[in-house]
Structure 1
């Protein structure tokens, strides 16, 4: 299976897969997360003891999941996808409207209880390995809140960047949701994000800056968008990242077809070799600090402003130029690097 594809199965799926997972959770009477068998040698917990949490939705669940195969769905099987679409057409979706979140969060304790957030660490392993997340979003508060609820743990910290051009209701609803948690915040600087421009990178860097300032002990940073949904529990992520022992997971390609993206930008500073990668990264805290506070990274950032799709150049290039001696950088052959991909 394509390595890049596996990465997105881990961190965030397409809206089609999200819909399929939604059906799976809807049809399941108890909450149990599992690794797909045969994908990793890491010993993991097969289910999680979620106290007072028998369902994810606020209504009675059907008792069977036999109508769909999640494995086939995640593999993109067209027959299974068609079956899922038909099931979705017959399900009632009780989405929470954006403005209703403002009313629901008037009592934060009631909101956390009603939405069934996990408010206590599930075990010592997770508690001792806090993670930092960014969520860049611009619409669909209900979907973004479901994402937050799925990845939320009290020991972690979460930065939400709401697009500057998002409608007022989205901004207000997300602000109210964040206010109900000590470890969730809206970044103080909002950007008008447009794909292919430096604004995509600016949104991520704004969150990184504040995550470094507000939480002193998180181990790894993971960035998401509001249109994604996890297929792994926090516990499973922690087990994988513990094995990494500080290594980053940032894909980078040296394929010459990408050179057109920076051919008009001039020579990169510090003889940095540019690479093309993805805006989605998994990076240790020291590397994030380097991206935000080091002069080399700052000058390279200015250079990427002159490139096409700078967010897909900034992260992989700095990760795959190990001459700077930053923890977690990769010093092997760029196009074969796939720690996170191989872990799942």
Structure 2
């Protein structure tokens, strides 16, 4: 019995040993396979795939937003108004419609769940609308001084969670407006609110507020790609996806207008650190440009010089971007060379058979720029306004058009990124119809459109290495960009 027992125990031990060897072999093979996969994964990381918005739900929420704008549905037939051959009665009814901002704010402003109510009331999109948009976040700075409801409508037209926003609030505005702005900052983690010194027309505080926002945005870890400045009375002319694709075509170029700076805007008895140029405060540039400007000593020199100058906000961007000998701005350009082209001097002096002459034709469409400057569409009461037969169906304030209902057929076809300006107390149907039109276009989730024409603008063409003479400059007003 003892011999048989020992034989059985020996066989059992041998069997267990064999089983252990088999398991070890399988484990090693599995480990090699995992190591191989791990090596492959490390070289080609899996893309970060976010949860994309549910478009059906988003459309329903937007319809609720329109429903809750008092008398809007009954008086404003947006689909008809954006057509050129609009019905006269439809037009007049919309023109007479009024919107009460205070009453509208009171309908949600005292709710205890204020953040959820703001998101619902303005149908904020709280998830990315596409993978493409998620991977190309944008940044905005807004300079505001009143009307929290209009600010919220503007923000809701631009908002996606991957984008970044900085709101600069005029300190001289009332406490209730400041409270409303800080409430927005508490509700949305990607919205930062700051108070800036009292804003005066053509005063330094305008530039101070906007540039402070650029400094804030440039120091964020968030990987935004392109920046835009907005006034609180602007509205976008493009959806977020359309802007993303346009910025990709701009390919890092700095888009700003260019004109001679009037003599009275120079600081008396003090030489500027570089040649000064006039532009609009509305400009568009890349993250690389923003990062560069907040760290370059020459930029700080210009900023300090402009503290005693008139309208410094209209001097800063093009002066920085257009002086390559002084500031090697990423995506910048040579403003002197641009001027020679826009005035016609370059064509007269240097044109060859290969030269593309300055084009002054007024040809444009939704994705076909009329001129080299695309950051903002604004109609000024100037010589160009009469010469080029621009229209303003609203009214002019400070020589700038406040758009009206009659401007809608043109506005929806403009190739610029944003339109300036709209007042809620002046034909508000124009504002809300454009707002409705742009948001509906975004919610259609249309991806089959081409923005290739933006890649033909001088900025991206020069960055791509195209010879200057072979680049087409389009400027119906010639040297005047506005």
TM-score by length of 2: 0.54
263 and 136 in structure 1: CA distance in 2 versus 1, 3 angstrom threshold: closer
Separation in structure 1 between the aligned mates of residue 214 and residue 79 of structure 2, nearest angstrom = 42
144 and 288 in structure 1: CA distance in 2 versus 1, 3 angstrom threshold: same
1:338 to 369, 372, 384: 372
Q: 2:67 aligned with 1:58, yes or no?
A: yes
CA contact (8 A) 2:146 2:177 kept: yes
1:199 to 200, 205, 208: 205
72 and 297 in structure 1: CA distance in 2 versus 1, 3 angstrom threshold: farther
> For residue 247 of structure 2, what is the aligned residue in structure 1?
241
Q: Which one has more relative contact order, counting CA pairs under 8 Å at least 6 apart?
A: 1
Q: 2:328 aligned with 1:325, yes or no?
A: yes
Could you list the structure 1 runs, at least 4 aligned residues long, displaced by more than 6 angstroms after superposition: none
2:130 to 123, 130, 133: 123
TM-superposed deviation, 1:249: 0.6
1:167 to 164, 174, 180: 174
1:275 to 270, 274, 277: 277
1:314 to 313, 316, 321: 316
- Residues paired across the two proteins, number: 286
61 and 126 in structure 1: CA distance in 2 versus 1, 3 angstrom threshold: same
Please give the per-residue CA displacement for 1:204-250, whole angstroms capped at 9, x wherever unaligned.
01111211223431111111111111121111111111001100111
Higher Cα Rg, which structure: 2
TM-superposed deviation, 1:182: 0.9
Separation in structure 1 between the aligned mates of residue 135 and residue 85 of structure 2, nearest angstrom = 35
Equivalent residue of 1:179, what SS? helix
TM-superposed deviation, 1:260: 3.1
Separation in structure 2 between the aligned mates of residue 305 and residue 243 of structure 1, nearest angstrom = 35
1:158 to 155, 165, 179: 165
Give me the CA root mean square deviation. 3.0
Please give the per-residue CA displacement for 1:265-307, whole angstroms capped at 9, x wherever unaligned.
53222xx211011111111112222332211000111112232
CA contact (8 A) 1:68 1:84 kept: yes
CA contact (8 A) 1:252 1:277 kept: yes
Bigger Cα displacement from structure 2, 84-93 vs 159-168? 84-93
Bigger Cα displacement from structure 2, 120-129 vs 56-65? 56-65
> For residue 69 of structure 1, what is the aligned residue in structure 2?
82
Equivalent residue of 1:305, what SS? helix
> For residue 109 of structure 1, what is the aligned residue in structure 2?
116
> For residue 301 of structure 2, what is the aligned residue in structure 1?
299
Equivalent residue of 2:202, what SS? coil
> For residue 44 of structure 1, what is the aligned residue in structure 2?
none
Separation in structure 1 between the aligned mates of residue 150 and residue 85 of structure 2, nearest angstrom = 23
CA contact (8 A) 2:293 2:329 kept: no
Q: 2:102 aligned with 1:89, yes or no?
A: no
Separation in structure 2 between the aligned mates of residue 253 and residue 119 of structure 1, nearest angstrom = 40
> For residue 407 of structure 2, what is the aligned residue in structure 1?
none
Q: For 1:206-245, list aligned pairs within 5 A.
A: 206-245=212-251
Any gaps of 5 or more consecutive residues in structure 2? 1-53, 343-370, 376-413, 417-482
TM-superposed deviation, 1:136: 0.7
